[in-house]
Structure 1
Amino acid sequence: MEQNLHFSQISLRLFKTLSEASGLQALVDLGYEILGNPFTITDHSVKVLASTGETKVTDDPVWNELKMNNHFIFQTYSYYVRNSLFNEITRNEAPFYWSDPYCKYRRLIGKIRINKRDVAILVACAHNRDFKERDEELVSLLCDAFSIELQKTKYIDFSQVLMHQNFLYDLLNGMYEDERLIVERLKILGLKFKRKLFVINIDIQNLDRSKSTLPYMRDEVENKLVNAKAIVYNQNVVVLASCENDRHFQEIELKNLKEFIHNNNLRAGISRPFLKLTDVKEHYLESTEAIKLGNLMNKKQSFYKYEDYLIFDLINSYSDTQKWKKFIHQSLIRLIEYDKENGTDYFRSFYTYLCNFKNVKDSATILNIHRNTLFHRMEKIESLLDVDLNDGDVLFQLYLSYKILEFLKIALP
């Protein structure tokens, strides 16, 4: 009876704090008074949303790391993935105890849920006193209170993260056709993107699940880019990135992301730049095709630009790829046969010449030959091709033929 009265009083104090709209930290401070031990509230990537501040825990390495960085470093996070902490959190509906060699003090862990969905974790540390049996019920009660607070508060980072992800999900599913509705949604969410937009799709099928999880990888990717938001979508990490300065984006931000992708044995595709958020779905499909075609044609790379594979996407979309052979310029076939018969390298030389917009100097440098040598070589090539190389349509047909041959060599047996 006495304990029921005690919990009744605690419930009333929690209810009063919630009703006064005092904010998350006021609820945390009351929770510390009720529980008598420090605790943190984190999301599932172990990013700290709130924590008690009165007690200074100085002799617990895991607690200190979390408080100092507001998140776990990658090695610590990987340790808890390998040791099934997150599986235990998913499996246990009620608060449970946790101990490991790196935590000096035992933990009591409870889940915070919104609409039957796990959204955050409360981790109490037995620093001030040992846990008692009633603490499990207290933690459960606090988790319910924090669920209410997270739902009613519109301006905390965590609520914003959930709303941002829902918005991205709708964009990727093509739910918005009216740009005006998107503008209004951006205002409500407090979201801002720069003028030039990109979709980056990161294939995580090679992700070492013993070291990381999708939510953690999503946050890591988002942190590599400025003016970007990431979401877990179709079991990949998809990023809506934006920039004003394309050079800075390509040379700095994408460079860091490429290194991260390479170091973690991942693959990624990036769409062409675009300007309207109504086009997100279309450019997501571009990023997906970039990964597929990049994997097919250049397995040594890990980051693929759709613009580099656009023409191959066109070829691949043809219902019967074999029929593309009829579009190959016959003069190019003659050039290939001449190389085979005479041991020359005219086929590659001419392609280099085409790709460098008929610039003899640049082409000669790439081929590592003297420009006069290339000049005489081009005279011979032009006579073999028997075409007018000043005709733009002819040049396009020849370039397309090269791309068809490059694709068919990979795609067909």
Structure 2
Amino acid sequence: MDLYLSIIADELKKRSFNVITTLFEEQPIKGIRFLSLKQTPLNHYLYFATAEQLKNTPESQWPQHLIVPEAPFSDSLPHAKLNILFLDSSESQLELFSHLQDIFADFESWYQKIQQAMINHADITAILNIASEKLDNPIALFDITNSLIHWSGSFSSDIKGSIWENALENGYTMDYFSYGEWKDLSKKMNSSNTPILSHSKGDDSRSILSCPLKNNGKFIGSLGMTSINTPFTPGQIKLVMIVKDLLETAMIHSTNSFHGSDHVPYYVESLLNGLSVDEKIISFYLNRHGWKINDSYCLLNFSFPMENILFDNFIHPYIGRIKDFFPFGICCPFDDSLIVILNITNYDNPVLSLANILEELYDRFQIQCGISSDFYHFLDLKHYFVQAKSALAEGLNQNPHQAFYYYLDYYQSNLFHKLDSITSIKSLCHPRILKIWEEGDTNQLLLLQTLHAFLLNGRNLTLTANTLTIHRNTLLYRLDKISELLKINLKDLEPDTLFYLLMSCMMIEYC
């Protein structure tokens, strides 16, 4: 396998050599050779040369990668951007050269072992175990939901208080980060193909490494490490990149469930898209959950506390978290949303149970939810997806800091916003009511409020007075005034006129 000078430097240090490196832009190194003036040096080889040789060689002929078995000679350092490793040792050149050959052979054996495991279709966890043999710190593998799949390596210090404690206890690391930290890391993970370093909380001496795994640019998982044993070196980071490339290849061909978390059951997807599905097929799949087609259901639609991130790349970390809270529901992404379908007969007190769960999701992850009305036939799924999505949109607009929003609470505003998207709301309002709303003074607006209450209470004077907490005579006075303004006898209304006035009173605030 190809190595990097920074990896070779780490290995030499482990063998108790004093090493100093001057690294610029590293390139893969295929092997090691002695420098010879008779041959043109190649950039993809590491050349063994003494200080004396280099002093007698024009800088223009120095190779890109050099290892010098002597202390740095600053007076002779080149101006070119080369990668040089100075090795302070009393051993002979042949002994040093043999050490270097052993390093290449050792890594080649390690690489071949991983390749053989992949050829044999070994489990991805077995491949990670082999890969971790060359890493100085333990490594964790997460799926697209940020759930811990496997970890490998050993700890030379206590994990208490570290991100490892969180990962091993909870199976994920999201609780370790604040909202702002998680948001920033998610953006970086989606835009990067290389390891991302950040500081460990409460311990600036440790760093956290997060490395995205991708397939054709699509996020399929991640690697996580912390410098719990030793600090991250350039060589270790290069090794993580080699492991990343190997795991990406292995994961693409793995039978493990790296893609299962974002799978949408075909019968759910078909119903949500308005396609016809045989009722017997639906019943068959629901029976696997212990559900019946005519049970009581509700649908949840979730929001996420991230902005300006492509949905496919950013929704996944939350699927596992939400599934943990709704283990008996059907949880899947659909149409730029994450939905959960619940059979509410599974809950003794569904209203209280849902409220507690959704409050905790909001407190921990800033996830908010729209909730459909209860429905009683699974084939009606599409209508209640629309309800839940509308409840979330209306709720976030009107009350942005709540954990959840019931569709019924936002039915009226949703109805009129839908109407306004088709035609102007003003065109549906009674002209005189619209004029009072737009031009009337405070007293006239109070008359509209009185009319609205009067019509909602079925034109019952006692109920309306109680609703408005005013005297009956005050109510009669106001009704006379509004009758004059509208030029309508409120005591004798045709059904169509009554409906027109009531809807106008309800719609005007959305004009």
TM-score bracket for this pair, using the shorter chain length: 0.5 to 0.7
Identical counterparts, % of pairs: 14
Q: Counterparts of 1:266-305 in structure 2 under 5 Å? A: 270-275=371-376, 279-287=380-388, 298=398, 303=405, 305=407
What is the one-letter code of the residue matched to 1:177? S
Instruction: Provide closer, same or farther for how the CA distance between residues 181 and 35 of structure 1 changes in structure 2, counting only shifts above 3 A.
Output: farther
Instruction: Provide closer, same or farther for how the CA distance between residues 364 and 258 of structure 1 changes in structure 2, counting only shifts above 3 A.
Output: farther
* 1:62 aligned residue (163, 187, 190): 163
What is the one-letter code of the residue matched to 1:229? C
Q: Which residue of 1 aligns with 2:218?
A: 117
State the superposition RMSD in angstroms: 5.4
Tell whether 2:331 aligns with 1:229. Answer: yes
Instruction: Provide closer, same or farther for how the CA distance between residues 295 and 29 of structure 1 changes in structure 2, counting only shifts above 3 A.
Output: closer
- The alignment partner of 1:100 has SS state of strand
What is the one-letter code of the residue matched to 1:183? I
Report the alpha carbon displacement of residue 369 of structure 1 after superposing the two structures with TM. 3.1
Residues 80 and 86 in structure 1, CA contact (< 8 A), matched pair in contact too: no
Tell whether 2:505 aligns with 1:407. Answer: no
- The alignment partner of 1:152 has SS state of coil
* 2:413 aligned residue (297, 300, 309): 309
Unpaired runs of at least 5, structure 1: 409-413
Once residues 106 and 346 of structure 1 are traced to their aligned partners in structure 2, the CA distance between those partners, rounded to angstroms, is: 66
Tell whether 2:111 aligns with 1:7. Answer: yes
Deviation by residue 1:239-260 (Cα, 9 ceiling, x = unmatched): 2443426994445525764797
Report the alpha carbon displacement of residue 9 of structure 1 after superposing the two structures with TM. 3.2
Deviation by residue 1:172-198 (Cα, 9 ceiling, x = unmatched): 5x1743255973895799797963233
Once residues 186 and 147 of structure 2 are traced to their aligned partners in structure 1, the CA distance between those partners, rounded to angstroms, is: 15
Residues 434 and 508 in structure 2, CA contact (< 8 A), matched pair in contact too: no
Report the alpha carbon displacement of residue 229 of structure 1 after superposing the two structures with TM. 2.4
Q: Which residue of 2 aligns with 1:91?
A: 192
Tell whether 2:357 aligns with 1:253. Answer: no
Residues 388 and 394 in structure 1, CA contact (< 8 A), matched pair in contact too: no
Residues 230 and 238 in structure 1, CA contact (< 8 A), matched pair in contact too: yes
Tell whether 2:455 aligns with 1:351. Answer: no
Once residues 373 and 283 of structure 1 are traced to their aligned partners in structure 2, the CA distance between those partners, rounded to angstroms, is: 45
Q: Which residue of 1 aligns with 2:150?
A: 50
With the length of structure 1 as denominator, give the TM-score of the two structures.
Answer: 0.66
Which has the larger share of helix? 1
Q: Which residue of 1 aligns with 2:501?
A: 398
- The alignment partner of 2:263 has SS state of helix
Tell whether 2:262 aligns with 1:162. Answer: yes
Once residues 492 and 447 of structure 2 are traced to their aligned partners in structure 1, the CA distance between those partners, rounded to angstroms, is: 15
Residues 197 and 242 in structure 1, CA contact (< 8 A), matched pair in contact too: yes
Report the alpha carbon displacement of residue 231 of structure 1 after superposing the two structures with TM. 2.9
Once residues 173 and 210 of structure 2 are traced to their aligned partners in structure 1, the CA distance between those partners, rounded to angstroms, is: 16
Once residues 82 and 333 of structure 1 are traced to their aligned partners in structure 2, the CA distance between those partners, rounded to angstroms, is: 45
Deviation by residue 1:13-48 (Cα, 9 ceiling, x = unmatched): 4544x35xxx56555555555757522111355332
Q: Counterparts of 1:198-213 in structure 2 under 5 Å? A: 198=299, 200=301, 202=303
Deviation by residue 1:306-344 (Cα, 9 ceiling, x = unmatched): 52335414642443544324xx287x78999xx979879
Q: Which residue of 2 aligns with 1:411?
A: none
* 2:282 aligned residue (161, 179, 183): 183
Report the alpha carbon displacement of residue 53 of structure 1 after superposing the two structures with TM. 7.9
| Structure with greater contact order relative to length (CA < 8 Å, sep ≥ 6) | 1
* 2:423 aligned residue (319, 337, 348): 319
What is the one-letter code of the residue matched to 1:47? S
Once residues 280 and 127 of structure 2 are traced to their aligned partners in structure 1, the CA distance between those partners, rounded to angstroms, is: 35
Residues 210 and 222 in structure 2, CA contact (< 8 A), matched pair in contact too: yes
Residues 271 and 379 in structure 2, CA contact (< 8 A), matched pair in contact too: yes
Once residues 247 and 284 of structure 2 are traced to their aligned partners in structure 1, the CA distance between those partners, rounded to angstroms, is: 30
Residues 353 and 363 in structure 1, CA contact (< 8 A), matched pair in contact too: yes
Report the alpha carbon displacement of residue 120 of structure 1 after superposing the two structures with TM. 0.8
Unpaired runs of at least 5, structure 2: 1-103
Residues 203 and 266 in structure 1, CA contact (< 8 A), matched pair in contact too: yes
Once residues 159 and 462 of structure 2 are traced to their aligned partners in structure 1, the CA distance between those partners, rounded to angstroms, is: 67
Residues 201 and 238 in structure 1, CA contact (< 8 A), matched pair in contact too: yes
What is the one-letter code of the residue matched to 1:404? M
- The alignment partner of 1:122 has SS state of strand
Once residues 286 and 313 of structure 1 are traced to their aligned partners in structure 2, the CA distance between those partners, rounded to angstroms, is: 13
- The alignment partner of 1:12 has SS state of helix
* 2:489 aligned residue (374, 386, 393): 386
Q: Counterparts of 1:12-51 in structure 2 under 5 Å? A: 12-16=116-120, 18-19=121-122, 29=129, 31-32=131-132, 37-44=137-144, 46-51=146-151
Instruction: Provide closer, same or farther for how the CA distance between residues 240 and 265 of structure 1 changes in structure 2, counting only shifts above 3 A.
Output: closer
Once residues 243 and 125 of structure 1 are traced to their aligned partners in structure 2, the CA distance between those partners, rounded to angstroms, is: 41
Report the alpha carbon displacement of residue 119 of structure 1 after superposing the two structures with TM. 0.9
CA radius of gyration, larger in: 2
Report the alpha carbon displacement of residue 8 of structure 1 after superposing the two structures with TM. 1.9
Once residues 180 and 305 of structure 2 are traced to their aligned partners in structure 1, the CA distance between those partners, rounded to angstroms, is: 19
